[in-house]
Amino acid sequence: MKTKQLKTFLIISLIGILGLAVIPLTAIADTFPKKPVTLVVPYRAGGGTDTMARILAKALKKELGKPVVVVNRKGGGGSVGASYLKNSAADGYTIMMGGDDIPTWNPMSQNVDFKLTDFRYLAALAEYQNALITRSDKPYKTLEEMIAYSKEHPGLRYASQLPMEKKLIEIFMEKNNLDWKMINVGGGSEMVQLLLGDKIDIAYSGGIFNRYPKKLTVLASLNKARLSSAPDAPSLFEIFGISMPSYIIFMVPVGIPDNVAKILENALLKAGQSKNFKTIVEDRLKAPVINVSAAELETYMSQLNQQLQEMAK
C-alpha cells in the first residue's frame, strides 16, 4: 500500500515539474511588482503634471496589479525629483513623471548630481502646452500689444517655473529689449494663484491655464508649433526661432532589469490610452495624448540633448 502511495506521489510530482517546464521563463521572471510602486512628480501638488499623475496612477494600478503612490518632490525645476530618482534603488519601484527638459537642460544650467545617462527612459504619454499667459483683463490681449505695453511700463512681473523656460524668456526679453522682474514659483498651482490675485503680470504655464479659459489668455506658444487650444496665438519659434521641448516622459534609474523595464513600459503605454487619462488630458487640460515607446524615446532624448547643448553654447 505504501509502495502504491509512493508511486502515485512521484507521478504527481513529475507531472507538476513537467507542467512548470512548459511555462515560459518570462512568466516566471515577470513577478514584478510585488509591492506598491512610487510615481514621483517633481513639481508642486495641484498643477497639471500632478493632476495627470494621479489619474494615471489609478490606470497603472489596474495594469500592474499593485497600488501606485504619487509623491511630490518639488524644487529646482524638477531637479530635486530627478536627484531623488537617481539615488533610488534601480528595481523599478520608483518612477518619475516630468518634462523632457529635466534630464537634458537642467544638468547644463544647474549644479546637479545627475546627467542624461543616469536614467532609463520608458515612455512619453502627453505633451505640455507650454505658453506665455496673462490675465484676460489686462490691457494687452496679444503678444504684440504686450511687448509694446512692456516697453512703456518697464518692470512687469513675470513668474518663472523651469530653468529651460527661464532661459527661453531671457532670450525673448533680450531680443525685444524688455525689462521684466523675474519671480520664481514652485509650480502651476502657485503661479495661477499669483496671477489671478494680480501679484504677477505675465507667466509661464505648462497647460494648467486651460482650466481657466475666461480668466487667462495665451499670448504665445512656447512649443515649436501653435497650441491647439489657442490657435490664434503665435509661437515664439515662428517669430524668433526659439522653443521649448514639450514631452511628458517617464524615467527610472539606469540599471533596472530589462524585464522590469518592459513591464513598466507596457503598463504605461496601456494606462496612457485609458479613458479617464485621455479625458483629463485632452478634454480638461487640452493637451495631446501621445504614445511614444521606450526605444523611440531613447533616440528622441539623445537628439534633444544634442540640440540643447548647441543652444547652451
Give domain 32-127+246-312's CATH architecture.
3-Layer(aba) Sandwich (3.40)
The confidence score (pLDDT) of residue 304 equals: 92
Contact 73, 46 (CB under 8 A): no
Reported as a single tens digit per residue, the pLDDT across 105-163 is 999 999 999 999 999 999 999 999 999 999 999 999 999 999 999 999 999 999 999 88
DSSP state of 209: G
Reported as a single tens digit per residue, the pLDDT across 223-258 is 989 998 899 999 999 998 888 888 999 999 999 999
Fold annotation for 131-240:
D-Maltodextrin-Binding Protein; domain 2 (3.40.190)
pLDDT level of residue 284 (50, 70, 90 thresholds): confident
Give strand pairing partners of 139.
none
Q: Cell numbers 543616469 label which residue?
A: 118
Domain boundaries of the chain, sorted by first residue: 32-127+246-312, 131-240
Cα–Cα distance, 262 to 161 (Å, whole number): 32
32-127+246-312 matches 131-240 in fold? yes
DSSP 215-255: TEEEEEE-SSS-BTTBTTSPBHHHHHS-----EEEEEEETT
Q: Cell numbers 518632490 label which residue?
A: 73
**What sign does the dihedral 270-30-82-59 (CA atoms) show?**
positive
Q: Is 240 exposed, middle or buried (0-12, 13-18, 19+ CB in 10 A)?
A: middle
Cell for 264? 513598466
The confidence score (pLDDT) of residue 186 equals: 84
In this structure, the chain runs to a length of 313
Reported as a single tens digit per residue, the pLDDT across 48-96 is 899 999 999 999 999 999 999 999 999 998 999 999 999 999 999 999 9
pLDDT level of residue 313 (50, 70, 90 thresholds): confident
Reported as a single tens digit per residue, the pLDDT across 186-222 is 888 899 999 999 999 999 999 889 989 999 999 999 9
pTM over 0.85: no
Cell for 71? 509623491
pLDDT level of residue 14 (50, 70, 90 thresholds): very low
Contact 123, 272 (CB under 8 A): yes
Percent of residues, the chain, with pLDDT higher than 90:
76
C-alpha distances out from residue 221 to 169, 203, 234, 267, Å: 12, 12, 6, 31
